[in-house]
Structure 1
Amino acid sequence: MAESKLSPPARYDDLKALFINCTLKRSPEPSHTDDLMDVCRAIMKTQGVSVDSERLVDHQIAFGVQPDMTDEGWDRDDWPQIWDKVKAADILVIGTPLWLGEESSVARMLIERLYAQSGQRQENGQFVYYGKTGGCVITGNEDGVKHTAMTLQYALSHIGYVIPPQADVGWIGEIGPGLSYGDEGEGGAPAGRNNAFTQTNATILSWNLMHTARLLKDAGGFPAFGNQDGETMSRQALGHPFWSPKG
């Protein structure tokens, strides 16, 4: 019998994905997190997804929770340039190394700056991140992958992103410290390259993000009922037993 050829259930070539690496290393210094993100980028690119990438430390991002911190007295803030790419992307993937079991300080700054935009509204009254999907890539050689995934995915969900099932992938190697993802392992290959658990989860993460983005785009976004501004909600029968939002 001829081997059956598997084909994806949909096309994904109208989707845009943004990968933001929150490594502490500036380009072109090698980044283990970037190495693992490369797997996800490659999978998406094979399906025609438009993929863009940024290292936050390559830019001067101001601290704060306003859309443009130059309005708050900072001399420079490159965040508005990054924001344009975030707003255009259907898929956001946050990558971070682990330090003492937590995401990097750069990743926390990214969450703060994403939060700064979260009050913006779409034309239908929904918050600006509705209709987008997100996940995370985490590397290190100490414990903290699942804890950090919970932190990042909760933050994304809270501001409006849809989080697919199994939307995280990580590498910690032997707890220890041990080998980082791109360090030379047995046979001279990068340590994480042949790890079945990590590579399987990188594949699942990539496909579930594409599936979710496809579903959201085909549906015209997330349903706009019960999650709009107060004026709109006050005209809807939301089913709440006693509270009526004021317009």
Structure 2
Amino acid sequence: MRFDDLRALFINCTLKRSPELSHTQGLIDVSARIMEKHGVAVSHVRAVDHDIATGVWPDMTAHGWASDAWPGIQEQVMAADILVLAGPIWLGDNSSVTKRVIERLYGSSGILNPAGQYAYYGRVGGCLITGNEDGVKHCAMNILYSLQHLGYTIPPQADAGWIGEAGPGPSYLDPDSGGPRNDFTNRNTTFMTWNLMHLARMLKDGGGVPAYGNQRSAWDAGARFDFENPEYR
């Protein structure tokens, strides 16, 4: 099976600016290397390195912000068949950077593709989580729900993560953390990566999600796709 016509974007939602070490990037690299071995064109964005405005509009300079780096990042999002959001756990939840990225993705979710569907249809999404406190599944649930709500297709086993012992302790790439050697994390990251590639291949070969029944443009024009409600006629 060929994957060399697929593109993947990893958005690292660490709180650390480059070139500071990002443990999240360490786990991203595990997934990215598998994709690259099979010809996927992989791109990376460390969100905190960019001046991303707060808000839920495609370009926040039209809403009072002096600058906004998000429109350029959004172009990379739209060019990718696979989107992986990755970030750390803080206070048992996703980082503030992760939340901002999701809000900005939401800002373009109402745009329609040529078939009249929402713009993210036909793309697949997953997530990676790191930390030294509990919360991997909670963070993954929030990210994956958000992505599917925006229109992404989520494959089986679309998340993976690593945490150390509860409480302050070593992070993923720290010496003697055991993170890079953890079989559970390595297995789940590998499964996630392959499921993302397989589903992206299926969607691309199939021309995306079939349009009938989910076209916003057709609904607005009066189509009801077999919906029946006497009061709605």
Q: Same fold (TM over 0.5)?
A: yes
What pairs with 1:1-247 in structure 2 (closer than 5 Å)? 10-185=1-176, 191-232=178-219, 236=223, 238-242=225-229
Q: Deviations over 1:23-62 (max 9, x none)?
A: 0001111100000000000000000000000000110000
Q: What's the C-alpha RMSD, in Å, of the aligned pairs? A: 1.6
Unaligned residue ranges in structure 2 (runs of 5+):
none
Unaligned residue ranges in structure 1 (runs of 5+):
1-9
Q: Count residues in correspondence.
A: 233
The letter for the 2-side match of 1:40 is S
Give the 3-state SS of the residue equivalent to 1:65 in structure 2.
coil
1:178, CA displacement in angstroms?
2.5
1:129, CA displacement in angstroms?
0.1
> Structure 1 243/69 Cα, relative in aligned 2: closer, same or farther at 3 Å?
farther
Paired-residue identity, %:
57
Give the 3-state SS of the residue equivalent to 1:193 in structure 2.
helix
Give the 3-state SS of the residue equivalent to 1:222 in structure 2.
coil
Larger radius of gyration: 1
Aligned mates of 2:33, 2:2 — CA distance in 1: 16
Q: Is the 8 A contact 1:17 1:49 kept in 2?
A: yes
Aligned mates of 1:123, 1:200 — CA distance in 2: 38
Q: Is the 8 A contact 2:51 2:67 kept in 1?
A: yes
Aligned mates of 1:18, 1:244 — CA distance in 2: 45
Give the 3-state SS of the residue equivalent to 2:5 in structure 1.
coil
